[in-house]
Amino acid sequence: MVRKIPQHGNGLHPRSPNPSIPNSPVAMAPFRRWADLPADLLCRIGDRLDLKWYASARGACTAWRCALAPPSPALLVVANDARWCPYAASLPTRRSFELTAIVSGSRCVGSSNGWLALSVVLFSGGTIFVLLNPIAAVEILLPPLIYESRWVSKVVFTPNPAKDDFAAAAICDIDRIAYVTAGARRWAVIDPVRLTNGDQLTDVVYTDKGRVYCLTKCGDVHVLRLPERRCRKPANADEAGPSEPPFSVLQPPQPAERTNNCRPLRWQHLRNFRMMRHEQAQTRDQDPTIPLRVTFCAETFIPYKKFPPESQGPHLNAPATVEPLLCEANLPFDPATVFPPPYDTVSSFTSAKNLVFCEGNLYQVWRNASCTVTLQLPTGGQRRVAENEILVLRYYPRRQPCWDVVKNLGGHSLFVGRNNAVSMYAEGVPGLRGNCVYWIGGRGRDQGMVFDMESGSSTPCRAPPVSLLPGHPHSTICWYFLSDLMSINNSYNSSCSSSSGGRKVYQTRARARADLGQDMEE
């Protein structure tokens, strides 16, 4: 026997329990939150995102941040393919992110907080410096650095520069430092730093307190105290004519059917330093579709012209001072007094030196860039320094000797090179190891390397490929971070695992805002 189900109302909806609403629809299940998306689905979506949107997705919520590995640290790599575009080869994500293409004639002399410091050699022989954010395609043209023919080896600058608020410093000679602030018409070149005989500047690191710490090859440290930053309108902003396009290192968008490149013409004899025209690149090897190569070289001879000695005044830089790090203790630099034996002798054989801050402490990173050597110590005995052996020394201001070697970094890792040196708590971050020093060099001279302080050996990093063809040649420039700042919020490790023990970890500003919002919701 078939039983019939009675129908109520108009047959479309069951009778509502509320007589006042005769035909109310059935209540539908609530939508699931975006934070509840499966982790594997999020990863597949993240694989299709560029670096800008990938970092934004990680800052959306804690669940997405746990599912998507952090994009930093990464290696800034230029692949030798047809486009000559830089890539960010991310170690945690095991993938490469393509960055904004740059016109030819550029070389990278610094990196910090997602920005690059580029040196551009003009056809006239002059050189200009540009701060570029390749993710946001934003650039800041710095005033001219006019000086006699010297090397410019490294440029450091404020973590978040703006056209009306920035500061930068550079090594422009073996014993000279130059700096520039927003609103100035040119760089200020400081008087030669007092160094010991045969010593020279080798590294600089910028801190958030407006101090630039400078290191020499012998291990001496000097502090450049920059003037207080304030927002200032660029001095040459009003001189730019409306019909003249400003100079740019970014490649303009081109039609899909034909790829052209732009390059700067020779300087026009105008007062405005920023005014440059662009012309289309001429035929190259009888094929106009082949773009010009982006040049990121380690060293380039840069010709400068002389300029009047005045570097302060209206529309120029406020005065800055340079003083030795040990001046407060009235201790002159002497390796025999500042370094314990045998490192007072080893200091002269470790030519590659870098400075880095970690947990508020200042460290020196020494590397033997030559072959293995065996030193005869003055006190007797020998000290063998292997090729690419790295020593990490911590600064103790109240001790003598004030620098001493450490064997453990408390789970942190250091990233040194042409970038503004970065320290990062690496435990729990995919693809990284704690108590290591990440550097660039090796037998290939341009590959990412990692030195394990426990084993005392260096091995190549497992960097992801940067082109479609496996083994395609490329050039590694420096370490690339979206942020060089450490945060007290334990974002990645605390939300995904409990192995960090409340330590500080690398964190982007977007991720910090997401953590704050999550804490307020909870």
Sign of the C-alpha dihedral, residues 430, 435, 436, 437?
positive
181: left (phi over 0), alpha (psi -120 to 50) or beta: beta
pTM above 0.85, yes or no: no
Domain boundaries, the chain: 37-68
How far apart, in whole angstroms, are the C-alpha atoms of residue 115 and residue 136?
10
pLDDT in single tens digits along all 522 residues of the chain: 555 555 554 444 445 555 555 555 566 656 677 778 888 888 898 899 999 899 889 888 888 988 899 999 999 988 665 556 788 999 999 999 988 877 766 788 999 999 999 988 777 777 889 999 988 889 999 988 876 545 788 999 998 899 989 999 999 888 999 999 998 988 999 989 988 888 999 999 999 788 999 999 999 999 999 988 767 766 554 443 333 345 677 766 555 444 344 443 333 332 233 333 333 333 344 444 444 333 333 333 333 334 444 555 556 788 888 999 886 555 568 888 899 999 998 998 888 999 999 999 999 999 998 888 888 777 778 888 888 899 999 999 988 889 999 999 999 999 999 999 999 998 888 889 999 999 998 665 678 999 999 999 999 988 888 765 566 667 888 999 987 543 323 334 444 543 343 344 444 444 444 444 544 444
Q: Do 302 and 149 touch, CB atoms closer than 8 A?
A: yes
**Closest of 410, 433, 412 to residue 506, by C-alpha:** 412
**What is the chain's percent helix, strand, coil content, to nearest 5?**
10, 30, 60
Q: How many helices (H) and strands (E) does the chain have?
A: 7, 31
Residue pointed to by tokens 């010709």: 303
DSSP SS3 for 297: coil
Q: Do 182 and 234 touch, CB atoms closer than 8 A?
A: yes
DSSP SS3 for 55: helix
